Amino acid sequence: MTTKRHEQVGLTDAQVLDMYYYMLLARKIDERQWLLNRAGKVPFVISCQGQEAAQVGAAFAMETGRDYLCPYYRDLGLVLVFGQTARDCMLSAFAKAEDPNSGGRQMPGHFGGKKYNILTGSSPVTTQVPHAVGMALAGRMQQKDFVVYTSFGEGSSNQGDFHEGANFAGVHKLPVIFFCENNKYAISVPLKKQLACESVADRAIGYGFPGVSVDGNDPIEVYRVTKEAVERARSGAGPTLIEAVMYRLVPHSSDDDDRVYRTREEVEEAKKKDPLIVFAAYLREIGLLDENTEQDMLARVQLEVDEATEYAENAPYPTPESTMTHVYGE
């Protein structure tokens, strides 16, 4: 029988099955939102497909209810582990009043929610990075014991916000995890045109803390690396930069045509390493995922997505009077 790699990093059988469930749920929500977009029912989709393993693996290394997230717009898998539901995600996609992120006032993918310990995101990329560092500093000043996790694409690692945040966190040894989801393209710009160094992880040394590059298609390896970073942050040793290398399996968004900047052959080759396929194969090899278990999980996920879609489609939109709520002090 294949070695149970997950046990070597402290994960139980139940935990890795839960990992697969969250990865599958994120994928099925995402796929449904694309269908709804093409049917003209939701205005915009910005996808997590191909990035679920890294998001879920990292989330399992954090403590929900204790640690804080400052995610970016693709982090559907991450926020599901931290408590958001399929219904929450669909309410956001349909821009309905019950949307927990913004009450239907923000674009999809702008996750947030005080009860989930998720800082509300904004549309300009990378602004969440200095916010995460500020939260970590505030936590230290208030003598609170939490770690702040912030994620971003490799394109964001070229922005000033990233460098300023990393520098400040390094100087003050703040409990921050900088998590780069390197999906090879900043919209249409390939990695070789973005970085002069070998990888995003190489940048960490300039700020005085470790940088590590990891296979973003392997949730177990991502968990291991992130767990080490969490323990380092909790001990007072400071931040870590993690680069999870992956591939974005779909266009940048529902408004993008990726055929103009990458070949179909390249995308098809990447699909052979689809994290859901690879992880399911591992679970089958070790005897955790037989056909019945897999079908039961798929049926459970499908029901969640179906119910969430129906509820959100029929839910009320925000009232016109609510437009100014949270804008001028209310």
Question: Which residue numbers are catalytic?
Answer: 248, 252, 261
| Dihedral angle, C-alpha 56, 238, 73, 123, nearest 10 ° | 170
CA 317 to chain CA mean position, Å: 27
Tokens for 325?
């709520």
Task: In whole angstroms, give the CA distance from residue 219 to residue 52.
Answer: 8
CB contact burial 228-266 (16+ within 10 A = b; e otherwise): bbbebbeeeebbbbbbbbbbbbbbbbbebebeeebeeee
- Residues ≥6 apart with Cβ < 8 Å to 118: 68, 69, 70, 71, 79, 82, 84, 111, 112
Tokens describing residue 322: 């609510």
Q: Give the full edge-to-edge strand order of the sheet including 148-153.
A: 68-70, 148-153, 176-182, 240-245, 211-215
Please, are residues 249 and 160 in contact by the beta-carbon 8 Å criterion? no
